[in-house]
Structure 1
Amino acid sequence: MTEYRGLGFDPVPGDAGAVASAGERCRHAVEVPAPPAGWEGAAAEAFAARLAGMRDDLETARRTLGAAADVLDEWAGTVLANQRRAEDLDRRARELRRAIEDADNDVVLASFRGGPAHGAASARLEELRRELDDVLAAARDLEADHHSAARRVAERLRRLVTGGVEAAGDVPSREELFGGVVRALNSYSALGSELAGMLFTSPRTSGTPGGGAAAFVSALGER
């Protein structure tokens, strides 16, 4: 985790790598099962009929997973870009803080001499302080933009997750017959429950999610 000593706060929380990993989880293909070996006749026909009835739900799950992965990949790129901008601002803030310290010493020394030297040193100190204020204001703007973008991403994911979880609920829960589908959609449903139920909170709320949800909140940048 980057320490922004020059800024004094982290304007762009988030872990782009964790977000990208979550996107990769969403890209797992939903497996379409085949009838169990040895099934023939009426049993195989019944299986095929049930599978045909699930195809819309499977397609919904596929599209949802792919769309969620795209959203997360896009957000991972945004987090990286915002963090690079924050690092630039932090670097400039540290430079200015050092310059202000030196300029403050110059004002003290110039005060013994008085005259134009003292006025020039004081003016330089005030100019550096204004520059630092501008950098800190830019960092606050970046923070606001980052959290606004995170909320938009969270809402997009919430809408996607709702449809995917509903589709997952329509799949028969018979592991021996629909194993691949059940495993894929149950995993997606678990991810969806985390996202929809715990991750779409505004920054600086009193509630603190735990476990995997907490990790994803931090990764997303909504904390």
Structure 2
Amino acid sequence: MADYRGLGFDPTPGHAGAVAAASERCAAGFADPGPPPREWTGAAADGFGTRLEAVVSELTAVRRAMRAAAEVLDGWATTLLGNQRRAEELDRRALRLRRALAEAADEVDHTGALARFTAADAAAHDAAVTRHDELRRHLDEVLDEARLLERDHRAEARRVAERLRAEEPSTAVADALTGFSAITAELASVLLGPPRPAATAGAAAAFRAGLG
């Protein structure tokens, strides 16, 4: 995780690697259950075959939803990386400005101690104050940009959560698929840090919980 010492906060929380891993697991899908043995006949075999057809149909719906979720996650991973690159650029600017601001503050103190002696010293002090104030203004502008980026980043994360919630299958088979539920740990990382293994309630539900 990036250390935003210039900004003082992380405007674009998330783990692109975890999102990409979740996308891969969604896209990988799973195999359909195989047919019953040919030698198995009778009422039980007929009942199993009927249920198997229903299960395969449900699995097809789940597979479709998982692929759609993979597309959503791929898009979010791209957005996340772009936002984080922007945050890093703003942090570099903020760091430079903070260093310059510290030097300007020292200059203000130094010239202030001399300002009472001559008109030139007073003018130097006024110039130092003006430079300090200008640097402060520039830093505030960078911090405002970072806060705006954070607002947009979180809003997009919530839109992603809504899209994932819309894609989550509601079938009984989907609820039983541990592979589908397992990706919720990665989804929670989008805003709240590393995956949390305790998340098992379903992909969209856990992602929603991860957003707080």
TM over 0.5: yes
The superposition leaves residues 130-149 of structure 1 with CA deviations (integer Å, 9 ceiling, x where unpaired) of 00000011111111111111
Q: What is the match of residue 166 of structure 1? A: 171
- Report how far residue 44 of structure 1 moved: 5.7
Task: Please name the residue that 1:144 is paired with.
Answer: 151
1:213 aligns with 2:205: no
Residue identity matched to 2:161: A
Number of residue pairs matched by the alignment: 195
Residue 85 of structure 2 aligns with an amino acid whose one-letter code is R
Deviation track 1:160-209 (CA, whole Å, cap 9, x = no partner) reads: 12xx2425259xxxxxxxxxxx7xx3422x348x58xx95xxx79xxxx9
Contact 2:36 2:49 in 1 (8 A): no
Cα distance in 2 between the residues matched to 1:31 and 1:120: 73
State the match for 2:162 in structure 1.
Answer: 155
RMSD over aligned CA atoms reads 3.2
Whether 1:66 and 2:67 are equivalent positions in the alignment is yes
Task: Call closer, same or farther: CA 1:12–1:213 in 2, change over 3 Å.
Answer: farther
- Secondary structure of the corresponding residue to residue 211 of structure 1: coil
The one-letter code matched in structure 2 to 1:187 is G
Q: Distance in 1 between matches of 2:146 and 2:27?
A: 34
Match status 1:26 vs 2:15: no
CA drift of 1:53 comes to: 2.9
Whole-Å Cα distance in 2 between the matches of residues 74 and 18 of structure 1? 13
Contact 2:101/2:135 (8 A) holds in 1: yes
1:14 matched to which residue of 2? 14
CA contact (8 A) 2:33 2:56 kept: no
Query: 2:23 touches 2:69 (CA, 8 Å); kept in 1?
Result: yes
Q: Which amino acid in 2 is paired with 1:100?
A: L
Post-superposition shift, 1:104?
1.2
Q: TM-score, normalised by structure 1?
A: 0.74
* Cα deviation, residue 13, structure 1: 0.9
Query: Alignment partner of 1:3: what SS?
Result: coil
Corresponding residue number in structure 1 for 2:179: 187
The amino acid of 2:179's aligned partner reads S
Check whether the contact 1:4–1:87 (CA below 8 A) recurs between aligned residues. Answer: yes
1:130 equivalent among 137, 145, 149: 137
- State TM-score, norm by structure 2: 0.78
- Cα separation, partners in 2 of 1:125 and 1:116, compared to 1, 3 Å: same
CA distance in 2, matches of 1:143, 1:25: 28
Structure 2: 5+ residue runs without aligned partners?
116-120
Report the Cα offset of residue 154 of structure 1.
1.0
Task: Determine if the alignment matches structure 1 residue 222 to structure 2 residue 211.
Answer: yes
By how many angstroms is 1:77 displaced? 1.3
Separation in structure 1 between the aligned mates of residue 56 and residue 33 of structure 2, nearest angstrom: 11
Deviations 1:51-95 (A, max 9, x none): 333343122111101011111111111111111111111110000
